[in-house]
Structure 1
Amino acid sequence: MTAADRQLEQRWEQLHTWGPYGLLGVSVVLAAATSELINGPAEWYTAGALVVAAVALQLWWNGTRSRRAEGRTPSRAGAANYVVRWAIAFVLSWINPLFAFYAAAGFMDADELIPGPWRRLGLFATAVILAGSQSGGLPPKNGTQWILFAGLLVANAGLQLVVTHLMEQEERRAIERAETIAELERTNAALQQALDENAALHAQLLVQAREAGVADERRRLAAEIHDTLAQGLTGIIAQLQVVANAGDLETARTHLQRASDLARHSLGEARRSVHNLAPVALEHDGLPQALKSTVAEWGERTGIRAEFTVTGTAEHLHDEVSATLLRIAQEALSNTSRHAHATRLGVTLSFMGDEVVLDIRDDGRGFDPLAARERTSTGGFGLDGMRARAERIAGALTVESEPGHGTALSARVPLVRHDP
């Protein structure tokens, strides 16, 4: 509850506590000012006794309110208090019509005292006192006064019943709004829990992807060592064996030169394999800058016009996400330079709220994705490998191409921010 709500609640509480006293005081003052309307000492004594009873009733009710469990909730005790107060007000108004001001308290707190459907009956009873006072006092003296009393009763009761109906509707709407807000809070709590669980699953998935990537890199490195370094070392050994058995210096020099060339080539292969274990471009730069540099260097090396664009608000991505997208881009560029015969290429990195999209388009000769056979080359792993990389971090890779109309590749992965 806000401060304004608490202040309003306090004012309503003060009105219900002191309002009846104020109305009774006004009634006493007006009755005293019109003492000619009271016939004799007996009515004065009766009126005085009833005023004292009204004050005592209100003091008792206010004094026990804090001890009642129902507080301001309508109850049988509240209805009994209302009935007794109405009876006092009715007799006082019979003695002097101006005591009807005290009866008006029934309009003020019927919602607090009388339960459910009985509330309208209480309002109608209070309207009887007011209509009698407004028509000249109870009981009506002649037919004209009876007609006036009936009209005023309909007006008073109808007005109060309409107001009560509107207040009850507003109260129901307030309850419904409170229930809706509570339901939304429960839904938000469940949604937050689901988001937390989703974040934990993403983190777990990234760990699994890293583990799977390590296994893939080990298999790739083993294959490259077998295909390059092991073959190179075997060739070097063979050349050195020839040198050891050579009968002349010229033959020995020739095979030594071949062994030296094989050693240099094997060293280059070793360096390239180590370089491919992790994206060096990400060592000091984020993914956007690493992609920009990669695309620019590729364009200079191949002579193909290449452009790189970033859309959305760039964010610092998790290392695994950055490495995956950079590897996919490198392999796509490698495939384009080997097979596409393109003249232009565009790379776009898009940050789209909860995901990152890498789009690579070229104007090359294209191919039929359904009929194409993936070819593995040194340092590359083809479309199947790129797709596997994206899927390992809950992403997806789509390829659109047809002969003569270029190729469009799109990798969509979840946007997982870098751990602080």
Structure 2
Amino acid sequence: MSATDTQLDRRWEQLHVWGPWALLGIGVVLATGAAELIEGPAEWQAAGVLVAAAIGLQLWWHVTRSRRAGRGRIPSRAGTVYYGVRWALAFGLTWINPFFAFYAAAGYMDADELIPGLWRRLGLFASAVTVAAAQAGGMPFDGVQWAAFGVLLAVNFGLQAVVAHLSEQGEQRSHERAETIDALQQALDENAALHAQLLVQAREAGVADERRRLAAEIHDTIAQGLTGIIAQLQVVANTPDERAAREHVARAMDLARHSLGEARRSVHNLAPVALEHDGLPQALQNTVADWGERTGIRAEFTLTGAAAPLHDEVSATLLRIAQEALSNASRHARAARLGVTLTFLGDEVILDIRDDGVGFDPLALPPRTRAGGFGLDGMRARAERIAGSLTVETEPGHGTALSARVPLVRHDQ
């Protein structure tokens, strides 16, 4: 609540507390000035008793109101009793002298605070009766005064009913606004909690994704290099030809150096060593040539379209997919020929890897491979990470064709 609203509420509270006192005082002063309207000593005595009773009533209500200060301006049984007794005293005083109708007019300003629900209209009507009677010339009435009283009563009560209706609508809107603010605050609190929860989940998902990426990098680099070294050393152990053994040992040493470079690169930024000095086409060509020489399988690399410098992440992803596909082919395909094609096509880059090996049934793969290992699903996850896709066409006895399609994102973008 703003300072202006607080000040306005304080002034309205003061009006409700001191307004009846002021109106009673005005009535007493004016009635005394128009003493000729009071006919005899009996009426003077009655007026004195009623004024004293009104003062006593105001004192009682002042104390009662102070005790109820913490409850706000809410209608109550005590307030209804106070309003009714005050009206009766004001009606009696106005009968004696019409100027006491000022005291009766106090009912117009605090009926909403004192009387609950529909009874509020009855309270306003009672106050309007007293005020209209004074405006018509005072009670009792003659024939002409009755007509004036009827018109004045209708005008007084009509105006007060309209004002009361507008005030109730304003209170309802204020209540609805307060409920809306509370609901919005609750929604903001819930959104803040949800935002914090989403941040935690995003952080956990990022950690899990980074772990999967690191695992894939290790599998595609160090693990594959160690597998190649083991294969070369197994040949050395099984061959009596010293010259051939030295050749396989040299290959094992080259693979060890390459794997060491990949390990160091993985520690720094996970970019493949093959891309350190060459673009993707040259890196793929070197990788295919080295793989063919190591495995003895006829392997060819083909570049189609106008090559463009690719973003590091795109180049690394396609190279890792090619390395994994070549590793799978050397272990499982038993192929005589293998071809790798890199195609720059519009806003896409396509990597195709084909072999004439034994093929396989995708549905017959081991559960680990189908459900997130480092084979086909690992390659597919790499492609999808950069908004690409991976498709595989194969069947037993008819080789395998693998195609990775990713967006062409240039190095300077």
Please indicate, yes or no, whether the TM-score normalized by the shorter chain is above 0.5. yes
> In structure 2, do the counterparts of structure 1 residues 265 and 70 end up closer, same or farther at CA, with 3 Å as the change threshold?
closer
In 2, Cα distance between equivalents of 1:121 and 1:21: 23
1:84 to partner: Cα distance: 0.9
**Identical counterparts, % of pairs:** 41
CA contact (8 A) 1:123 1:157 kept: yes
- C-alpha change, 1:123 and 1:306, in structure 2 (3 Å) is same
Q: Secondary structure at the match of 1:108?
A: helix
| 1:207 CA displacement | 3.6
Aligned-partner SS, 2:266: coil
Give the Å deviation of 1:4. Answer: 3.1
Q: Deviations over 1:183-231 (max 9, x none)?
A: 3333333333333333333333334334444544444446413443334
| 1:236 and 1:262 in contact (8 A); partners too | no
> Pairwise mapping of residues 134-149 of structure 1 onto structure 2 (< 5 A)?
134-141=135-142, 143-149=143-149
* Partner in structure 1 of residue 286 of structure 2: none
TM-score (norm 1): 0.66
Compute the RMSD of aligned alpha carbons.
4.2
Q: Contact 2:73–2:113 (CA<8 Å) still a contact in 1?
A: yes
1:313 counterpart residue number: none
CA drift at 1:342: 1.8
Residue of 247, 258, 274 corresponding to 1:269: 258
Letter aligned with residue 196 of structure 1: A
Flag the 1:162–1:362 CA change in 2: closer, same or farther, 3 A: same
Name 1:342's counterpart in structure 2.
344
Aligned pairs for 1:175-194 within 5 A: 175-194=175-194
Q: Which residue of 1 aligns with 2:27?
A: 27
Q: Distance in 1 between matches of 2:48 and 2:80?
A: 24
Q: Which amino acid aligns with 1:388?
A: A
Q: Distance in 2 between matches of 1:222 and 1:364?
A: 26
Gaps of 5+ in 2: 284-302, 323-339, 354-360, 363-373, 392-403
Q: Deviation of residue 363 (structure 1)? A: 7.0
- In the alignment, is residue 125 of structure 1 matched against residue 111 of structure 2? no
SS of corresponding position for 1:341? strand
- Deviation of 1:343 after TM superposition, in Å, equals 6.9
Q: Is the 8 A contact 1:399 1:410 kept in 2?
A: no
Compute the displacement of 1:108 (Å).
Answer: 0.6
- Give the distance between the partners of 2:351 and 2:224, measured in 1 at CA: 30
Whole-Å separation in 1 of the counterparts to 2:205 and 2:351: 37
Q: 1:280 aligns with which of 249, 266, 269?
A: 269
TM-score by length of 2: 0.67
User: How far off its partner does 1:161 sit?
Assistant: 1.0
Q: Helix, strand or coil for the counterpart of 1:39?
A: coil
- Residues 398 and 140 from structure 1, CA distance in 2 versus in 1: closer, same or farther, beyond 3 angstroms? farther
The answer to whether the 8 Å contact 1:331/1:382 transfers is: no
Q: Which runs of 5+ in 1 are unaligned?
A: 244-253, 283-292, 309-325, 345-360, 368-372, 375-380, 412-420
Cα gap change, 1:387/1:263 in structure 2, threshold over 3 Å: closer, same or farther? closer
Aligned match of 2:205: 205
CA distance in 1 between partners of 2:125 and 2:267 (Å):
86
Name the CA shift for 1:259/1:80 in 2 (closer, same or farther; >3 Å): closer
Partner residue of 1:385? Answer: 378
Q: Is the 8 A contact 2:136 2:152 kept in 1?
A: yes
Q: Which moved more, 1:23-32 or 1:189-198?
A: 189-198
Residues 96-155 of structure 1: CA deviation (Å, up to 9, x unaligned): 2111111111011111111211111010000001111111112222x2221111001001
1:330 matched to 2:316: yes
* Aligned residue runs from structure 1 range 334-413, under 5 A: 339-342=341-344, 361-362=347-348, 384-389=377-382, 397-399=387-389, 409=407
Structure 2 residue matching 1:342: 3-state secondary structure: strand
Residues in 2 aligned to 1:331 and 1:304: alpha-carbon distance in whole angstroms = 17
Q: Cα gap change, 1:215/1:26 in structure 2, threshold over 3 Å: closer, same or farther?
A: same
Provide the C-alpha distance between the structure 1 equivalents of 2:407 and 2:375, rounded to a whole number of angstroms.
Answer: 12
Partner of 1:99: 100
Q: Secondary structure at the match of 2:67?
A: coil
Q: Distance in 2 between matches of 1:400 and 1:209?
A: 19
Give the paired residue count: 338
